[in-house]
Amino acid sequence: MGLDRFIYDKVILIDDAGWGDLLLGVVVGALKLPDRKYMERRIPVTAFQPPNFERKAYLAEAVRIAEEIVNVMQPDEKTYFKVCSGYILSSIRKYLQQRGFYVEKTRIKGELQERVERSYLDWCVEVGVPPERLKDKKRFYPLLEWVAEKIVLREKLVKTGWKSWREKWRAKAYQIHLEKAAKMKRKHMS
């Protein structure tokens, strides 16, 4: 029985973090095995805001990152890619396949997932989110409340292209903002 499949001795894993989060864009990370070479790039929040969101600019940004991954990590014919199954990485998978690479759609766990998630959280802290708001995996409401505290300033950090932001969460953030302002006003008047 002969081998009918090429043996790949190098793997590049690709994952993302931030896709489902209210704030900022998305961090895309790549980890090359076996040497553990790591790189990451950010898709800016502007790719998730009108009119860019409707144009799916985030997919074009993901391809730009895929090009950088190929340039930096220098994969060869003995390299294959394991790319997370998330939608935002679909354009990366397609780009790599068009370049002739073997690409496996998979679920990423372990070191790469942890590094990319940490990078997304660090980005949140960079823009002023208190670390305690990021401790729980369920951080949507803590981030919504943080945005609501200074909505006029912080809305620019939100994925405002989301239909749910326009139809539900933006109004909820303003409601939270007004309730807190009224509470502060009552507190200062007493």
pLDDT of residue 2: 43
Give the C-alpha separation, 102 to 12, whole Å.
11
Tokens of 69: 């991954």
Which DSSP symbol is given to 48? G
pLDDT of residue 173: 87
Lowest mean pLDDT among 8-12, 29-33, 39-43, 75-79: 8-12
Q: Percentage of residues in the chain with pLDDT exceeding 70?
A: 92
pLDDT of residue 3: 47
Give the C-alpha separation, 115 to 108, whole Å.
11
pLDDT of residue 190: 64
Tokens of 13: 């894993």
Cβ atoms of residues 158 and 44 within 8 Å:
no
* Cα angle: 38, vertex 43, 48; to 5 degrees: 155
Give the C-alpha separation, 104 to 5, whole Å.
14
Is residue 19 predicted with pLDDT exceeding 70? yes
Give the C-alpha separation, 65 to 84, whole Å.
14
Residue-by-residue DSSP string for 147-173: HHHTHHHHGGGB-TT-HHIIIIIHHHH
Is residue 185 predicted with pLDDT exceeding 70? no
Q: Provide mean pLDDT across the span 14-24.
A: 93
pLDDT of residue 180: 79
- Count the Cβ atoms, other than its own, within 10 Å of residue 59: 19
What are 116-141's pLDDT values in tens digits?
A: 999 999 999 999 999 998 988 788 99
pLDDT band at 6 (very low <50, low <70, confident <90, very high): low
* Cα angle: 105, vertex 109, 112; to 5 degrees: 95
pLDDT band at 4 (very low <50, low <70, confident <90, very high): very low
Domain 10-124 CATH assignment equals 3.30.420.10: yes
Average pLDDT in the chain: 89
Q: Provide mean pLDDT across the span 15-30.
A: 94
* Cα angle: 50, vertex 144, 20; to 5 degrees: 60
Cβ atoms of residues 43 and 62 within 8 Å:
yes
Q: Provide mean pLDDT across the span 39-55.
A: 96
Q: What are phi and psi of 85, to 5 degrees?
A: -75, 0
What are 77-94's pLDDT values in tens digits?
A: 888 899 999 899 999 999
Q: Provide mean pLDDT across the span 61-86.
A: 92
pTM of the complete model = 0.87
Give the residue extent of every domain in the chain. Answer: 10-124, 130-189
